[in-house]
Amino acid sequence: MDKEQGGQGQHARVLDALGPAITAGDYPPGSVLRTDELEQRYAVSRTVVREVIRVLESMHLVASRRRVGVTVLPAEEWNVYDPRVIRWRLAGPDRPRQLRSLTVLRSAVEPVAAGLAARLATPEQCAELTSHALGMVATSRGRQLAEYLVHDVAFHRVILRASGNEMFARLGDVVAGVLTGRTQHGVMFADPDPAAVTLHVRVAEAVRERDAERAESLTREIVTGAMAELDVLAP
């Protein structure tokens, strides 16, 4: 019938409007959304609304029950590991808390991942690691934060992937979100902490030398520093 504006896909459009609204808390837990209401508000067919609802339901953001409507679930029920939920929450009002939660998760996971990576990393991965560590060194001075961030994210992604654990590997996006969020949010002007840069280089060394103990404890220093840094910046 019509093929108006739309980005690419009505489904994505409505989802990217409703999802962030819910995770932002615009609809308090227990709120009821009616299908036909959403139909009108976003000017789409029932099909689209229902599919969006089904996706939100699969993220445990809402629960759909007959005769009552689509009720918003409390935050404790949400699938907080869903990449989209993480993105939405990082873009919303409780971004500080989200950043904290994710950093704590990092502090638990990354040291163990680094220890495993020291035992399992392939030569190629070791090379990538040192390459990115050197890249961090090269971009650590003179306001090259964007370039530094790229290497930082890539470094941690390799560590997580090299751990050989699929659950760890899947946290690459989380770490990327945290690091990006920190760069954007925090000190856009100050250069990165030189001590942190050095630690990354030493982690790369430890992995290359298959020293699991050292890789783990060095990484623990990195994430401890990250948490301390967060304490300074965030309320």
Partner DNA sequence: GAGGCTTGAATACGTCGTACATGTTGCGTT
Partner DNA sequence: AACGCAACATGTACGACGTATTCAAGCCTC
What is the binding site for DNA (CB under 7 A)?
1-3, 6, 8-11, 33-36, 43-48, 50-51, 53, 64-70
Site for its own copies in 198-227 (CB under 8 A): none
Site for its own copies in 115-174 (CB under 8 A): 116, 165-170
Residue type, 171: L
Min dist. Cβ of residue 138 to its own copies (A):
30
Q: Out of its own copies, DNA, none, which partner does residue 102 contact, by CB within 5 to 8 A per kind?
A: its own copies
Q: List the strands of the sheet with 69-72, edge to edge.
A: 32-33, 69-72, 62-65
Q: Is 195 in the site for its own copies (CB under 8 A)?
A: no
> Residues 22-44, buried b or exposed e (16+ Cβ, 10 A)?
bbeeebeeeeebeeeebbeebeb
Strands (E), the chain: 32-33, 62-65, 69-72
Min dist. Cβ of residue 23 to DNA (A):
20
Site for its own copies in 5-34 (CB under 8 A): 11
Applying CB under 8 A, which of residues 35, 42, 50, 176 lies at the interface with its own copies? 50
Nearer to DNA, 70 or 114 (CB): 70
Q: How far apart are CA 56 and CA 171, in angstroms?
A: 21
Element (H, E) at 57: helix 46-58
Name residue 70's beta-bridge partners: 33, 64
Q: Out of its own copies, DNA, none, which partner does residue 101 contact, by CB within 5 to 8 A per kind?
A: its own copies
Nearer to its own copies, 80 or 137 (CB): 80
Looking from the CA of 119 toward its CB, the CA atoms found within 13 Å total: 10
Looking from the CA of 14 toward its CB, the CA atoms found within 13 Å total: 24
Residues of this chain that interact with its own copies (CB under 8 A) are: 11, 47, 50-51, 54-55, 57-59, 75-76, 79-84, 101-102, 104-105, 107-109, 111-113, 116, 165-170
